[in-house]
């Protein structure tokens, strides 16, 4: 038996959520809270619930238009700054000057001295303008932001191999993370050796030391009924029964057990608690194989070369 004082201290500390080191001394939690499509008031309520529950990572973006809500949640939580990790993003396709002003704006909306991780949201503008020169210009502004102490680490999102190569050509600080769509159903699209056309090319990212981080881990924006496949679908729920866990927990566990950090979105406290209860149990090799082999739900995106579905990121010029 632990002495009571030790027990109370351990219980009051933030939950032990494992991390991955994405840059020297920067530890990204393996599970966090997504906030895309939440307005400021929903984001505030969800982030406050999460921070009180012991979440240690919240993912937002300038483009989500909810960072003022996240700022209020952080203040009301009373949590010390070094007990949580914040990721933000600025749009892609910006000049060095516009990138610098967007970075300043993102940080001021959060009302923080620094973010833990700042990403460039897309390899170009949302309509595809920018190209290599803008990617490189924007990266220079991102590096300045780190040097000024305003981000602990910087990274990219929706980047394919060629986009990453543009950055590596000029980088003095390498991207720490590539945040891309990844969920059960996409395993066969991204096997070892699948090459440049694979969905955001997981194998390449790890070969150059960039942490591959999953967005939409539960296929939230997937088309038709696909978005239910990882909530109530047969594969994840039947596996979950063996462990006393829900379908979404199995879908998330498949990723974290493969070393991929996740940021599921929910504003429901019950779901929120489930989504970080991932670290005290282990999927069997057989169940991991079945999840690796799953071909649905399909990636949300377009058909690529040879009728293979892709995330739609790789054709961005
Ligand atoms: N970099 C980018 O461009 C990019 C793109 C997309 C997403 N993201 C990030 O990734 C985050 C997550 O992706 P997402 O928002 O697209 O969708 P998601 O997390 O894949 O799915 C969200 C949906 O799953 C449901 N859900 C979550 N946990 C559940 C549980 N335990 N049981 C049952 N249902 C559950 C939620 O409904 P309830 O509210 O009812 O729980 C919600 O409808 C985003 O919020 C954002 O932060 C980034
Ligand atoms: C934010 O979204 C919620 C849920 O969709 C809605 O009820 C609320 O009115 C919205 N708030 C604002 C200020 O738009
Ligand atoms: C941010 O980038 C946009 C271009 O997307 C630019 O018009 C704007 O001036 C930049 N700065 C701020 C503070 O928004
Ligand atoms: C990738 O797609 C291009 C067409 O966009 C094709 O020419 C090439 O052969 C493909 N590579 C692989 C490895 O499938």
* Interval 32-77: pLDDT, tens: 999 999 999 999 999 999 999 999 999 999 999 999 999 999 999 9
Q: How far apart are the CA of 150 and the centre of ligand 2, in A?
A: 31
* Nearest ligand atom owner, CA of 268: 1
pTM of the model: 0.93
Give the position, in ligand 4's atom list, of the atom nearest the Cα of 195: 13
Question: Cα–Cα distance between 117 and 25 in angstroms, integer?
Answer: 12
Least confident of 37-41, 152-156, 308-312: 308-312
When pLDDT is cut at 50, 70 and 90, the band that residue 315 belongs to is: confident
Catalytic pick among 38, 55, 64, 204:
64
Tell me which residue of 297, 140, 132, 147 sits closest to 230, measured CA to CA: 297
What per-residue confidence (pLDDT) applies to 269?
97
For residues 145 and 117, is the Cβ–Cβ distance under 8 A? no
Q: How large is the average pLDDT for residues 117-127?
A: 95
CA-nearest residue, atom 30 of ligand 1: 271
How crowded is residue 177: how many other Cβ atoms within 10 Å of its Cβ? 25
Whether the CB of 240 sits within 6 Å of ligand 1? no
First to last CA, the chain: 61
Q: Tell me the two tokens of residue 178.
A: 């590539």
Q: How large is the average pLDDT for residues 120-138?
A: 95
Q: How far apart are the CA of 198 and the centre of ligand 4, in A?
A: 10
What per-residue confidence (pLDDT) applies to 7?
40
When pLDDT is cut at 50, 70 and 90, the band that residue 90 belongs to is: very high
Task: Note the pLDDT tens digit of each residue in 256-297.
Answer: 999 999 999 999 999 999 999 999 999 999 999 999 999 888
Task: Note the pLDDT tens digit of each residue in 221-243.
Answer: 887 788 899 999 999 999 999 99
User: Is 64 a residue of the active site?
Assistant: yes
Share of the chain above pLDDT 70, in %: 89
pLDDT at 13 over 60: no
What per-residue confidence (pLDDT) applies to 2?
44
Report CA 219 to chain centroid distance, whole Å.
Answer: 13
């Amino acid at each position: 038996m632990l002495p009571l004082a030790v027990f109370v201290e351990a219980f009051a500390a933030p939950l032990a959520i494992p991390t991955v080191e994405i840059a020297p001394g920067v530890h990204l939690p393996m599970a966090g809270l997504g906030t895309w499509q939440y307005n400021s008031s929903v984001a505030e309520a969800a982030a406050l619930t999460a921070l009180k529950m012991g979440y240690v990572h919240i993912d937002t973006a300038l483009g989500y238009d909810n960072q003022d809500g996240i700022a209020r949640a952080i203040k009301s939580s009373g949590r010390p700054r070094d007990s949580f990790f914040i990721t933000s993003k600025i749009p892609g396709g910006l000049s060095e000057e516009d990138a610098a002003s967007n970075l300043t704006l993102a940080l001021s909306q959060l009302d923080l001295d620094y973010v833990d991780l700042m990403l460039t949201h897309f390899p170009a503008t949302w309509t595809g303008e920018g190209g290599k020169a803008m990617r490189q210009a924007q990266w220079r502004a991102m590096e300045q932001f780190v040097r000024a102490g305003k981000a602990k680490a910087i990274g990219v999102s929706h980047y394919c191999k060629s986009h990453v190569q543009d950055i590596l050509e000029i980088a003095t600080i390498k991207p720490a993370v590539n945040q891309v769509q990844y969920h059960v159903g996409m395993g066969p699209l991204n096997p070892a050796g699948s090459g440049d056309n694979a969905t955001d090319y997981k194998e390449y990212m790890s070969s150059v030391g960039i942490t591959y981080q999953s967005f939409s881990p539960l296929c939230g924006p997937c088309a038709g009924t696909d978005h239910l496949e990882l909530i109530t679908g047969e594969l994840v729920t039947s596996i979950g029964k063996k462990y006393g866990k829900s379908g979404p927990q199995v879908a998330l566990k498949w990723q974290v057990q493969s070393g991929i950090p996740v940021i599921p979105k929910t504003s429901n406290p019950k779901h929120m608690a489930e989504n970080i209860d991932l670290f005290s149990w282990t999927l069997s090799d057989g169940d991991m194989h079945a999840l690796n082999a799953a071909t649905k739900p399909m990636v949300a995106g377009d058909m690529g070369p040879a009728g293979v579905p892709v995330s739609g990121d790789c054709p961005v010029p």
